[in-house]
Structure 1
């Protein structure tokens, strides 16, 4: 099923209502024009009340041990300043 667009109404809104030039109007997608006209709404801004609600629903809890990913090199040999496991630097020793 196809939906027909009200081109005369969209042109009226774009050219007269928004003051777009015809070339600018025709470069827009129908969705972009709807956004410019305020027909497409975005998610509401996060309010302090909603943030508090989320904080109660998902409280920060202190985990025992290292935080996720904090100790990702555990069990690996110490490579120092970019060297290999034997302590050799990359690109040879330079003075």
Structure 2
């Protein structure tokens, strides 16, 4: 028997909260492409290298936490 859509989305929303720190609101506002990109990056998809220190520094400067 196939899983109900509602059951699958509740489980996926919970995983997004645990893995990415998303609130339920962030999960429901995200596009499938955004969620897919995070899942691929977290899974270490072949050919996906982590950002280097320079890239991280530029991102931190462009998007400060405070």
Same structural fold, with TM-score higher than 0.5 when normalized by the shorter chain: no
Higher helix share: 2
Greater CA radius of gyration, 1 or 2? 1
Q: Give the alignment's TM-score, normalised by structure 2.
A: 0.42
